[in-house]
Amino acid sequence: MASAAEQVPMPELTFREGGPGDLRAVFTVSELAVHDTALRSGVLDTPPPSETQIEEEWQRRRHLLEFTAAQPGSGFWLCERAGEPIGYGRVARFGEMEELTELMVLPAHHRQGIGRALLERLWPGDPTPDLGRVVVAAGASADLTLYSDFGVMPITGHWHIRAHPEDFLERRSREIDTAEPAVVVLESDRAVREWKRLEPPAIGHRRPRLHEFFGRTRTCLATMDPGAESATALCWIGAGGEIGPAVGATPQDLVPVVLQALDRVAKTREPDSLSVFCATDSWWLLRRLRGLGFRVWWPSWVMCSIPLPGLDRYMPTRPPHLL
């Protein structure tokens, strides 16, 4: 693979490394690019988000974005035209894995090789046994082909699924014969310790800093093994009703804690819709959510340089910047 320095310069386009001061500007690029992808995928038929809507979304997501950008070994590259960002990509490194959190190009600048040029700077060379790569990939077949050129392959589906809260709660109320284990709220330090134990076997790498961050910004629900006094499943819930990630000791263990998180959000926040991301390996969870009114809204892929066989007991992060 050619290095970034060997690429033919693109007329009027410049590339540079980004910094913390660029995050807000490229967030606008991200929101407009995602909206365009949603239009082309048939997911949305609405006008592009306004600057006010983008600012509101930035305020909801900024702390997670700033956190991932600050991780040691992370990468951030911009493509600019006349000094304005038209595309960018970011990689966050967690231990032995690099997660491509964003690769966005404004719709007017598609098919100019910008995405590939950004990836060549973010992911030069090939993945190694000591440093893998993973990305949640949305978009057309051409996007998947591009990612595969950089050493990652599809390993499972990544479905954004939604349900109407009233429909969900009504269906839940009819589950009178379903016995579920008790769910508790864990204190932050205990939650982080349990995440450090349960998550690595599921996703193939360690993210202690991420869970320390969630311990400061989110609430952790858990089901417990009374005999061992350890968690059998965990789920983070954000202040804005974001559900995930979640992980279980087994695929079946994942289900009750996710359902309790959905109950909590549906009853306390009364959102317009309930929304989670689900790996298609999570057969037990998908089957249960299907019966509770959830439908596929936006299908994507998890692509990785190594197999991740534990995703049947894992529910991905929301928002989907990270696995």
Please report which confidence band the pLDDT of residue 11 belongs to, taking 50, 70 and 90 as the band edges. low
151 domain-assigned: no
Q: What CATH number corresponds to the domain at position 65?
A: 3.40.630.30
| φ/ψ (deg, to 5) at 34 | -65, -40
Residue 10's pLDDT is: 58
Closest alpha carbon to 248 in 261, 239, 238: 261
Are the beta carbons of 321 and 101 closer than 8 angstroms?
A: yes
Residue 218's pLDDT is: 97
Over residues 206-220, mean pLDDT: 97
146 domain-assigned: no
- Spatial strand order of the sheet with 13-17 comes to 13-17, 75-81, 84-94, 97-105, 132-137, 295-304, 153-163, 274-279
Whether 139 has a pLDDT exceeding 70, the answer reads no
Asked if 50 and 95 sit in the same domain, the reply is yes
299 domain-assigned: yes
Asked if 279 and 203 sit in the same domain, the reply is yes
Residue 138's pLDDT is: 83
Whether 6 has a pLDDT exceeding 50, the answer reads no
Asked if 116 and 246 sit in the same domain, the reply is no
152 domain-assigned: no
Q: What CATH number corresponds to the domain at position 302?
A: 3.40.630.90
Please report which confidence band the pLDDT of residue 227 belongs to, taking 50, 70 and 90 as the band edges. confident
- Spatial strand order of the sheet with 314-315 comes to 183-186, 218-225, 230-238, 243-248, 314-315
Among the three residues 72, 97, 125, which one is the final residue of a domain in this structure?
A: 125
Whether 7 has a pLDDT exceeding 60, the answer reads no
Between CA 212 and CA 189 the distance in angstroms is 8
Residue 144's pLDDT is: 85
Between CA 99 and CA 125 the distance in angstroms is 16
172 domain-assigned: yes
Asked if 76 and 190 sit in the same domain, the reply is no
Asked if 251 and 118 sit in the same domain, the reply is no
Asked if 251 and 196 sit in the same domain, the reply is yes
Please report which confidence band the pLDDT of residue 41 belongs to, taking 50, 70 and 90 as the band edges. confident
64 domain-assigned: yes
Question: Which letter does DSSP use for residue 8 in this model?
Answer: P
Over residues 74-98, mean pLDDT: 96
Asked if 117 and 180 sit in the same domain, the reply is no
Whether 141 has a pLDDT exceeding 80, the answer reads no
Between CA 254 and CA 248 the distance in angstroms is 4
User: Residue 88 is part of which domain span?
Assistant: 4-125
The tokens of 316 are what?
């991905």
Whether 275 has a pLDDT exceeding 90, the answer reads yes
Whether 301 has a pLDDT exceeding 60, the answer reads yes
Residue 232's pLDDT is: 97
Whether 247 has a pLDDT exceeding 80, the answer reads yes
Average pLDDT, the chain: 92
C-beta atoms surrounding 52 within 10 Å: 8
Asked if 117 and 169 sit in the same domain, the reply is no
Least confident range of 21-35, 58-72, 163-177, 230-244: 163-177
The tokens of 39 are what?
């239009």
Torsion angle, alpha carbons of 197, 200, 205, 208, to 10: -30
Among the three residues 81, 104, 125, which one is the final residue of a domain in this structure?
A: 125
232 CB contacts (<8 Å, ≥6 apart)?
A: 181, 222, 223, 224, 225, 248, 249, 250, 253
3-state SS assignment for residue 234: strand
139 domain-assigned: no
Asked if 185 and 233 sit in the same domain, the reply is yes
For residue 81, CA distances in Å to 76, 87, 108 come to 17, 9, 12
Please report which confidence band the pLDDT of residue 179 belongs to, taking 50, 70 and 90 as the band edges. confident
Asked if 104 and 189 sit in the same domain, the reply is no
Torsion angle, alpha carbons of 68, 70, 76, 82, to 10: 110
Q: What is the sign of the dihedral through the CA atoms of 282, 285, 291 and 292?
A: negative
Asked if 118 and 188 sit in the same domain, the reply is no
CA 296-302-308 angle, 5° bins: 120
Please report which confidence band the pLDDT of residue 176 belongs to, taking 50, 70 and 90 as the band edges. low
200 domain-assigned: yes
Among the three residues 108, 125, 142, which one is the final residue of a domain in this structure?
A: 125
Asked if 177 and 284 sit in the same domain, the reply is yes
Number of structural domains in the chain: 2
